Amino acid sequence: MLPVVEDWFGTHTWQQPSWTAGELVALKRGRTVSVVLPALDEEETVGAVVAVVRPLLGTLVDELVVVDSGSTDRTAEVAAAAGARVVSREDVVPWLEPVPGKGEVLWRSLAATTGDLVVFLDSDLVDPETAFVTALLGPLLLHDDVHLVKGFYRRPLRLESTGGGRVTELVARPLLNTLRPELSGVVQPLGGEYAATRSFLESVPFAAGYGVEIGLLLDAHRIYGLPALAQVNLGVRKHRNRSLLQLGVMSAQIMGTALARCGVPLESGPLTQFVQVDGEWLPDSADVLVADRPPMVHVVEER
Q: pLDDT truncated to tens, each residue of the chain (303 aa)? A: 899 999 999 999 999 999 999 999 999 999 999 999 999 999 999 999 999 999 999 999 999 999 999 999 999 999 999 999 999 999 999 999 998 899 999 999 999 999 999 999 999 999 999 999 999 999 999 999 999 999 999 877 543 444 458 899 999 999 999 999 999 999 999 999 999 999 999 999 999 999 999 999 999 999 999 999 999 999 988 766 778 888 998 999 999 999 999 998 777 778 999 989 999 999 999 888 788 999 999 887 666
Q: Taking the chain, what is the end-to-end CA distance rounded to the nearest angstrom?
A: 45
Q: Which domains does the chain have, with CATH numbers?
A: 3-241 (3.90.550.10)
One-letter amino acid at 41 equals D
Q: Which pTM was predicted?
A: 0.94
SS3 string of the chain? CCHHHHHHHHHHEECCCCCCHHHHHHHCCCCCEEEEEEECCCCCCHHHHHHHHHHHECCCECEEEEEECCCCCCHHHHHHHHCCEEEEHHHCCCCCCCCCCHHHHHHHHHHHCCCCEEEECCCCCECCCCHHHHHHHHHHHHCCCCCEEEEEEECCECCECCCCCHHHHHHHHHHHHHHCHHHCCCCCCCCCCEEEEHHHHCCCCEECCCCHHHHHHHHHHHHHCHHHEEEEEEEECECCCCCHHHHHHHHHHHHHHHHHHCCCCCCCEEEEEEEEECCEEEEEEEEECCCEECCHHHHHHHC
